[in-house]
């Protein structure tokens, strides 16, 4: 048991005792942190601050002890994990191409806010990844060693993946709805659907060729389709939906880039709400989204795109221009090339010949269990085949 975990446990007991010691004067009144005296509120704030610091430091202090390299030999990677090298190169090229599109698109680029969308995909996507890495008893995926690594858990190409599956669907959905029919929720729904279509082939390739590994027993990734956790696909749909919706909100409000970017960073909290709603609609258990959740989400978003509800949650600007001309031919070429490259990877490489190095789920005793934030049970460590054979 780590020192940080012990600190968090002691902090939780301290806060619990503090609440029990301060009773509200009015009978049946619900206690609140604002009912505490100033000294007690300072203690609560200090405990929360210490807990956050311990969570972050517990994650980052082990970096030097983990099996990873910031720059791995290209020759070694081609020998051990050749499919992964091709995947890295694919998304680095796509990120460079989307940058050129955001910079060079001349048809009223300020109205389309392409530069903001491009920057936001990197920042919001990276923040989302680290939120789920840092939360205790939540992180359930480990990236393989890539040629270029930012951290042991973050290859350089991962922010480019966020850029690819969020930038192009968001831009495409805006062409369909914002510049013609002005329906923000339908625009966001279409962005989510397109992101799911864009991401699913990559998700299947990555799982098949061990570009990353999933937790063995985590309930959030237990229900799968074609080797892909249903929660991963549902997350793609709902996360991009929230990203597009929040950016459109900032645009309609006339906010500048920084305020709009700050608003977009709330995509992850909003996504958790939307994902749980879709999980209920799919008759899955909260915290265990599966293929039924994916189907329910896709049907819901499709119905919204067709219905185009006239909900006006905020004042909306009328479209000042229509984009009648299609995107440059190079955009269509890039999209076709992306899907063709994934098909080529799936047919040209064999999973048996891939050696996935880097940080993975650790081995440990098979009788140890954890309880996640939703009260679901999982085993914190993976079991070796010899251990499974002894059960």
Residues 143, 101: one domain? yes
Residues 331, 375: one domain? no
Average confidence (pLDDT) over 59-67: 69
pLDDT bracket for residue 40 (50, 70, 90): low
Residues 368, 327: one domain? no
Q: CB neighbours of 328 closer than 8 A, spacing ≥ 6?
A: 101
- Cα pseudo-dihedral 336, 353, 229, 91, rounded to 10: -40
Phi, psi of 291 (to 5 degrees): -55, -35
pLDDT bracket for residue 2 (50, 70, 90): very low
Residues 200, 235: one domain? yes
Render 96-115 in DSSP notation, one character per residue.
HHHHHHHHH--SSHHHHTHH
Residues 175, 294: one domain? yes
Residue 259 lies in a domain: yes
| Cut 0.85: pTM above it | no
pLDDT bracket for residue 360 (50, 70, 90): confident
| Residue 210 domain boundaries | 73-353
Residues 293 and 303: beta-carbon distance below 8 Å = no
Q: Distance of CA 207 to CAs 42, 83, 86, 131, 142, Å?
A: 46, 12, 15, 22, 11
* pLDDT of res. 170: 95
Residues 130, 264: one domain? yes
Average confidence (pLDDT) over 290-301: 96
Residues 263 and 255: beta-carbon distance below 8 Å = yes
pLDDT bracket for residue 65 (50, 70, 90): confident
Residues 198, 216: one domain? yes
As a whole number of angstroms, the distance between CA 123 and CA 195 comes to: 17
Average pLDDT of the chain to the nearest whole number? 81
* pLDDT of res. 358: 86
Beta-carbon-side half-sphere exposure of residue 96 (alpha carbons within 13 Å): 6
Of 23-27, 59-63, 182-186, 380-384, which gets the smallest average pLDDT? 23-27
Residue 67 lies in a domain: no
> Per-residue pLDDT tens for 212-267?
998 888 888 889 998 899 999 999 999 999 999 999 999 888 888 899 999 999 99
Average confidence (pLDDT) over 330-335: 95
Residues 366 and 383: beta-carbon distance below 8 Å = yes
Residue 105 lies in a domain: yes
* pLDDT of res. 93: 97
* pLDDT of res. 183: 83
Residue 87 vs residue 28, higher pLDDT:
87
Of 61-65, 354-358, 384-388, which gets the smallest average pLDDT? 384-388
Of 12-16, 80-84, 95-99, 236-240, which gets the smallest average pLDDT? 12-16
Residue 68 lies in a domain: no
Residues 16, 115: one domain? no
Residues 298, 200: one domain? yes
Residues 210, 254: one domain? yes
The per-residue b/e assignment along 133-151, b for 16 or more CB within 10 angstroms, e otherwise, is beebeebbbbbbbbbebeb
* pLDDT of res. 140: 81
Residue 223 lies in a domain: yes
Work out how many domains the chain is built from and give that number: 3
* pLDDT of res. 113: 86
> Per-residue pLDDT tens for 177-191?
765 557 889 999 999
Residue 217 lies in a domain: yes
In terms of Cβ atoms closer than 10 Å to its own Cβ (0-12, 13-18, 19+), residue 187 is: buried
Residue 66 lies in a domain: no
Residue 332 lies in a domain: yes
pLDDT bracket for residue 108 (50, 70, 90): low
Residues 140, 218: one domain? yes
Residues 267, 310: one domain? yes
pLDDT bracket for residue 60 (50, 70, 90): low
* pLDDT of res. 11: 44
């Amino acid at each position: 048991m780590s020192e940080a975990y012990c600190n968090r446990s002691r902090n939780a007991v301290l806060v619990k005792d503090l609440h029990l010691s301060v009773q509200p004067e009015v009978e049946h009144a619900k206690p609140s942190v604002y009912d505490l005296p100033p000294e007690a509120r300072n203690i609560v704030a200090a405990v929360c601050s210490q807990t956050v610091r311990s969570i972050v430091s517990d994650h980052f202090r082990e970096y030097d002890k983990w099996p990873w390299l910031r720059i791995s030999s290209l020759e070694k990677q081609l020998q051990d994990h050749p499919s992964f090298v091709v995947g890295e190169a694919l998304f680095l090229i796509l990120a460079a191409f989307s940058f050129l599109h955001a910079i060079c698109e001349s048809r009223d680029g300020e109205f389309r806010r392409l530069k903001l969308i491009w920057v936001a995909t990197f920042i919001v996507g990276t923040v989302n990844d680290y939120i789920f890495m840092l939360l205790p008893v939540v992180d359930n995926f480990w990236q393989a060693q890539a040629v270029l690594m930012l951290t042991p858990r973050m290859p350089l190409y991962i922010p480019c993946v966020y850029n690819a599956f969020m930038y192009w669907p968001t831009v495409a959905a805006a062409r369909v709805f914002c510049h013609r029919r002005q329906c923000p929720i339908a625009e966001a729904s279409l962005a989510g659907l397109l992101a799911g279509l864009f991401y699913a082939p990559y998700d299947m390739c990555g799982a098949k060729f061990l570009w990353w590994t999933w937790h063995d027993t985590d309930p959030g990734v237990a229900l799968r389709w074609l080797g892909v956790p249903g929660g991963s696909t549902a997350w793609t749909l709902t996360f991009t939906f929230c990203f597009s919706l929040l950016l459109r909100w900032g645009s309609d409000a006339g906010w500048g880039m920084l305020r709009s970017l700050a608003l977009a960073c709330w995509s992850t909290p909003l996504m958790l709400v939307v994902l749980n709603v879709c999980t209920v609609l799919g008759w899955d258990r909260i915290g265990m989204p599966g293929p039924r959740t994916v189907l329910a989400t896709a049907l819901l978003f499709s119905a919204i795109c067709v219905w185009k509800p006239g909900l006006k949650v905020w004042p909306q600007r009328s479209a000042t221009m229509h984009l009648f001309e299609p995107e440059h031919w190079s955009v269509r070429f890039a999209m076709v090339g992306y899907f063709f490259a994934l098909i080529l990877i799936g047919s040209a490489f064999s999973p048996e010949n891939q050696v996935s190095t880097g940080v993975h789920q650790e081995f440990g005793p098979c009788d140890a269990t954890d309880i996640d934030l939703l009260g679901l049970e999982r085993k914190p460590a993976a079991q070796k085949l010899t251990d499974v054979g002894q059960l």
